[in-house]
Each structure stands twice: as structure tokens, then as C-alpha cells.
Structure 1
């Protein structure tokens, strides 16, 4: 939507009129939009990708001038290809006066069975009391379709639009990074902004925009005494048991207050700025609600600010399990020959993965050496994902904030995600473009859990807010470029 001959106030007026028209249009098409989501539920998870590929192909052909299904299947050591779902690239519009927005989403889901505790068939979308229940409703089929619905509301798009839809996100986005690198100078060369809608609000009612996430460094610490398990009646009390060594190592990692005990681990954590502190103060966050959602009786910290800082701003260490230890019901008095402790560190911006890996290894080796154990110690980091951080003053966030204000009637919270979102960092690093996470799901949607849902309200309002965002980012982008050109000419 372009208004080259209108003054600033007139432009704002017609932008507002356009937003109202779009909101009314979405309201009148609620049944159609909802039916679209319901029609894409499937009876079994094995049908999910073939069905989605067919449907998305048909949808994209209607709206997009370019649709490509790109093979990302890697080759196995024996020469055979590992069959993976293709990544779908879609494109609509090439107006050089318009900004180009690229949306990323995924249509694969976590496994689900009704007998796991679902109150409905997880692969048949079911509406109950205004909530749409089904696997993938909020992660990530609902948001993907909300974007498609938003595009459909326009007769003439105010932005150039691109889609990246994959089917391997839940398995670590296998093959996506290589594809982004290969397409960086082609498909992504004219992209101005990248938007991801694959997370949730912090609360159940207030919208949010996400500008950062923690990384994740996963570690294995292995202790081995020999090549076979031993009888505790025959050898207990006369050998250095691997499990005893491992428990001591794991116990050395974090203290009762949650503070990591690895020397130097906090050295790269930047000081809290005044601007950021104010963001934390204004965030709507119900401690009791969060505690009830978790099922625990008490948190390590007692204030909203402390909780959020330790979820987003500071690293954390979690111990996940022990491989090789007896864990079944009953009693088994064996001494395992080899045990592997598994833990992870959620690192924050400016923490270097290679430095964290070295610090962990040096700490564990130091603790182990003091035990004078003859057992073998091995420390490894099989997986390392870096943190992601964006600038909340970027036009992308300003446009989204205005769109949320228009649709929901209030400003959003600016939040970080305590978990890890590899694709955000991946897009930012490879394309060097602005990246924002734009959720429409509520905190209680239960992604990856039983009875996953998205509310009918959030799905419809999410469609509206995406449409309003197109208008806002177009307006902001044009204003910035006009200002830039004026300064250049002067």
C-alpha cells in the first residue's frame, strides 16, 4: 500500500483505515480461516508431512509467484541418501519500493499418543471451550497458517513476502543451515527482515515480542573402571566405583542456590543496563501462575525480576540423567563398569562455546584428580548451540509493537526465551539481517506437552496482527529510506 503523494498525517489516516478494513475482513472470514486449520489436521502423524507438502504446494501456487521444494537429504557413509522432507521456499512480490519480509515456520511436530494423557485425538483438531486442541496447534502449524491467512487478506501486498517452511525443526533443523548458506546470495539476497513465530508469550493474556534466547551446551562426563559390571558383594568397598566418582563430579557443578561452580563461567556475562532493567520491571509476569504451571512448591528466587534475570540473562546448569546406571523398578546390587552423566549449560550472549567447553573440562578434571581415582575420565560436548540476541530498537520490533497495539489495544512485553532457538541465531549469522520472534500463542498452550492447544481468539487475532504488521513495517521502511535518501542528497 503506497501513498507517495500524501502528507504524513494523511498517510497515517489511510494506514489506519487500511488496518481497520483488514481487521473487519478477518472478522468476517473467521469461519473460513478456522476451517483451514481444522482441515489440515491429520489422522496419523505419519501422514503429516506428505499431506502438508501437498496442501502447502497448492496454497503457495495460488498466492506466490515462486515456489520451490529444495532437497536437503544428506548422504550417509554407505553412499545412500538419508530421506528428509524438503524445505519449501515461497515468494510473492518484487516491488523495489517495498521491504522484503521473510517468514520462517515448520510443520513437523513432537510425537503424541492419546494414551499419553490427551483428552482428544492429538491428530484430529478439536475445539473445546474456545480452545483448538491438537498436536502442532501452537507449535507450529497454527502460526504458519495465520501468516498464510494474513497474506490472503490483501489484494495488493504492502511488502514483498517470502516463506521458508521446513519439516525437520523438531530434529534440530537438519540440513537447514547448509541450505541457508547456499541460498544466501540468491533467495535471501533481497530480504530486509526475518520473522519467526515459533514460541509463546510469557503470560496467558498479554502479547509479547521475543528479542533473545539462551544457547545450550550439552555435556557428557564418562567414568569407567573396566570392561564389565561387578558384584557389589564381591567388590564393594575395595574398588573406586565409577558411580561414586561421577556423583562427586556432578555435585561439584552447581551449589544449592543454583549458582554454577565452574571457575570463570560468569566472566563474559555483561552487566545489566538501565534500559534493560526498565524492560524487566514493566514485564507482566505472575510468579504464582508460573509456579503453578511448573508444579513445584518454591523457586530459588522470590521476585519477578530475579526470576526473569536467571531465566534469560544469566547462565544455568541442569543435570539430566545418568546412562549406565540401574534405573528400573526393584533392586539390582550391581556396580556399573561405566557411567555417563549428562548435563547442559544454557549460556547467554557473549559466552564463547569453546571457552565454556574448556572451562567445564578443566573443572571436572581438577575435581577428579583430587579424588586420586584410577578410573578413566572422559568429558565431551556432543552438542553446542549459541545464544541469540536482537536489538529491540530495530524497525522490525517497532513495527510489530505498533501492530500489537492496534489489534490488542496494549503494548507488548519485550521478552527473552530461556530455552534455545537455533534457527534465530542461524538466520541472523548467515544472512546478517534483522531477526525477530513474533509469537501468537499463550504461555499455557502446552507446546510439546499433552493437550497442546491454541485459543480460537489468539489464532484469529494473530492473523489480524500479522496483517497489521505488514502495513506497519512497510510504512516504517519507506520512512527510513526516504530519510536516508534525503540525508544523502544533502
Structure 2
């Protein structure tokens, strides 16, 4: 007589745990215009973290982010992370970090999603085809500063949780968010905040997910490593004021000459770093890595065409990817203090700063190597000018094991949404906080990009395609389900 009762109970249990992906995906499709409008509202805020004059906009961006999460019923905090000291000695308030939590079931896995809502500078006159802070839809691409880096991915993660809520479906995992506003300038204050909350907010976190990166091709990807970077200023100071080049030229040793001389000793035309110890600190490419790189979908000719060059430093795919992802390089970003406007200005500048960074390696070691080397090179010039070298950003490289369960779950989610296997890639850029998360919390991290390979991050005409934005939201929905299948004891 008890059999009918037992069968009913089993039916209820199996229904509760069934993953209703089709219903969730249909909900996402039917609400895509709403998601585009949300991105439009966020892009309209000029949350440029490098421009102190825009700091009120950045504070407003953090408040808007927190409010969106509050309206969804999350437990939300705006965490004060202190002040930022400017080069002139003044201090300004750092934008608060938004933390939020949805669900606190101890029997479930807890994932923490990290993202940022600050952006790089952008002006129409820089070469944009559209107003950078007015989201513009052209042929399925959503153009606007911060659209891909990182506002659309952050919104996609929020909308993924919102879809479960809208359909009255239980979240398969507990979800936490950490959203900051200073990533583009080195994540000021975030390291200390993570350390301070290691035993509180992060204590029950099992996995950390970062979606602040891009695919390498049209194939979806999972990212397991970043290079890191050390950002320097080298300042040469000469006369006490700017001098007329016709009146004083030929009598003074010019700061620009010294600066160019230093620049020429850092890297040769073939890309070899001339600073001792930098390249030697990186392990050579292993046979296993070589095989992984060989299998990745990457078209060298298309890459050249996309960036508009006729030649690259390396001609084959493996060499190119290795130097893009894992080997160090030196990049020169600009010279402050030099005349740069149109026309002529016959002036010898009193002071010049070379802005550059060394990509990959550990900051403390690189700071000493670069500083000592440049001072030794400068000393050989026997110049009366003064050299000052300062490292202003030191972001560590990060590397994960792509064979761990977190990545297997990612592969399964990609297969469900895109019906293909993802590429396992590394990232040439830097997400400064990844290594801190790993060191402080001890948790496993995955980088799950939804940005396209041609999104133009940090460049003119940055965009996020509707396809990546909407399908990316579905990917995050599927991933939450796949992660829920990982046994907590396997962490």
C-alpha cells in the first residue's frame, strides 16, 4: 500500500533537481532588449578610474551597481576601502567595492563572481566612430567604452541569477559578487579588502570566477593564466625651466636625448629584452604546452589583418601565442612633458617621463632589475641630468590547472550552450586581483570570458556583440548548474 506514496516522493525529488535550461534560455532571449538597455545605462556613466575629475561618476557607478543587486533581493554592502594618494600628495576617496550574496545554503557550493565597472579613458576625437559613452547598436554590435571591458560581462552574471529568480527556480549554488571600480588602474585598495574579509565574506567561498577577458577566436574559450605586469615611470630632469632650442640648443645636454638613449637599451628590434634577468626568469615552453598551443584555433593571417600590420615578430602560431601569453616583453606607452600638439614648438623641455611596463614576472624582482639596469645605463652616459625610476603598478602573473574540476564544468557548460569544445587559453593582459584571490583565499579560480576576439578592449570603437552578450548570459546560467555538480569534498 505504500508504493504509490514512494513513487510520488521520487518524482518530486527528480523534478526539483532537474535543470530547466531550455526555459531559462528562452527567458534570456525574450528579455534581451531589457539587457541591452541596462548596458546602455551603465555605459552612459563615464566611470574612468584614471581621471580623478571623473571620480564622482565612478562613485555613482558603484551606487548604481549596488542598487541593481539590492532590487534583486541580494544582501548587498558598499565596502569602504580608503583613500588614494595622488602623485602630487593629495588624497581622494577610492570608490567603494560592491559585495553581494544570493543564497546561503551550507549544503551547496558557493561561487564568487569578480568583475569591475570602471573603464579606460575615451574621447570621440581619439578616433571613435560613435560617441564612446552612448551605446550604439550597429549590425548586432554594441559600441561603447566599457561595453566588453567589463560592464556587459558583469551585467550578464547579474542577469543569469535574475533569470533563475524570475522563473522561481532555485539557484543551484550560492552566488556572491565582488565588483570593484579601480581595476584599470591597478585595483587600488582591493588587496587589503580581500585580506580583511578572508575569514568573513570569503570564508565559505568554494570557487572564484572572473569574466574580465576575451576569446582568442570565434571559438569560446576558458582562460587559465595571465602574464602580470610592472608599470614604470622613468623621469629625466635637466634645466630648471623650459629653454628656447634656438638660443640654448647645442650648449645643454637635453633630457630628451638621455631619455631616448635609455629607451634604446631596453629591447631590440626583434623583441629581445636587453635588461638582464628578465627573460631568464621564465621557464621555457614545455612539450605539453606546445601541444596545447598547437591545438588552439588561431589564424595568424586573420590576426595580422585585424590589427592592421603586414609583419609580426613571429610567423608560426605556437611561437606567437607563447610570446603573447607567457614570455615577457617591454612596452613603451608614451613620453610625458614632450611637445605633442600639432604645429611646432622650439622648446627644450626641463623634465620628461618615459611611461612603460615590463609584462610578466614578479614585481619585487622586476623593480630591482629594471631600476638597477636603467641607472647603470644612465651612469654610462655621464649626463648632468637626474634620473628617477618609479614602479607605480606591480601585478603578479596568475596560473591555474586547466585539468581541475572547475574547468571540466566550464567545458560542459560551453558544450551545452555552443555545442562545441572550448579552447583552453592564456591571457596576455593582466587582471591584477587574480593572484591575490589565489594567495589569500586559497580557492580555485577560473576565468570564463564572453568578450569577442575583436572587441577592441582599451581601444577605439570598443564593442560587445549582442550574440556574445546574450549567449554569454546563457553560458553563465549553464555554468552555475555544472558547478553545482562538483562535490565540495573535491576542492
| TM-score normalized by the length of structure 2 | 0.85
Could you say what secondary structure the match of 2:92 adopts? coil
Picking from 208, 223, 232, the partner of 2:236 is 223
Matches within 5 A, 1:46-445: 50=60, 53-54=63-64, 56-64=66-74, 66-74=75-83, 82-114=92-124, 116-154=126-164, 155-203=169-217, 205-347=218-360, 351-445=361-455
Describe the shift of the 1:130–1:232 C-alpha distance in structure 2 as closer, same or farther (beyond 3 A). closer
Shift of 1:257: 0.6
Structure 1: unaligned runs, 5 residues or longer: 482-490
* Alignment partners' CA distance in 1, 2:82 and 2:376: 43
Query: For the residues of structure 2 that align with 1:284 and 1:329, how far apart are their CA atoms?
Result: 43
8 Å contact kept, 1:105–1:196: yes
1:80–1:266 distance in 2 versus 1, CA, 3 Å: closer
User: Over the residues paired in the alignment, what is the CA RMSD in angstroms?
Assistant: 3.0
**Cα offset for 1:150?**
1.9
* Whole-angstrom distance in 2 between the partners of 1:141 and 1:337: 41
Cα deviation for residue 237 of structure 1 reads: 3.5
Helix, strand or coil for the counterpart of 1:309? helix
C-alpha contact 1:72 1:87 (8 A) present in aligned 2: yes
Q: Map of 1:441-460 to 2, 5 A cutoff? A: 441-460=451-470
Partner of 2:49: none
What is the alpha-carbon distance in structure 1 between the residues aligned to residue 422 and residue 136 of structure 2? Answer: 29
Question: Would the alpha carbon gap of residues 359 and 422 (structure 1) be closer, same or farther in structure 2, given more than 3 Å must change?
Answer: same
Name the CA shift for 1:275/1:84 in 2 (closer, same or farther; >3 Å).
same
State the shift of 1:140 in Å. 1.9
SS at match of 2:137: strand
Deviates more, 1:114-123 or 1:216-225: 114-123
| CA deviations over 1:438-482 (Å, ceiling 9, x no partner) | 11111112233333322222122112211111121121235837x
Is the 8 Å Cα contact of residues 97 and 181 (structure 2) preserved in structure 1? yes
Name the TM-score, length of structure 1 as normaliser: 0.85
Structure 1 residues 150 and 223: alpha-carbon distance in aligned structure 2, compared to 1, 3 A threshold: closer
**Higher mean Cα deviation, 429-438 or 237-246?**
237-246
Q: How many residues align?
A: 463
Residue 22 of structure 2: aligned partner: 23
Contact 1:40 1:52 in 2 (8 A): no
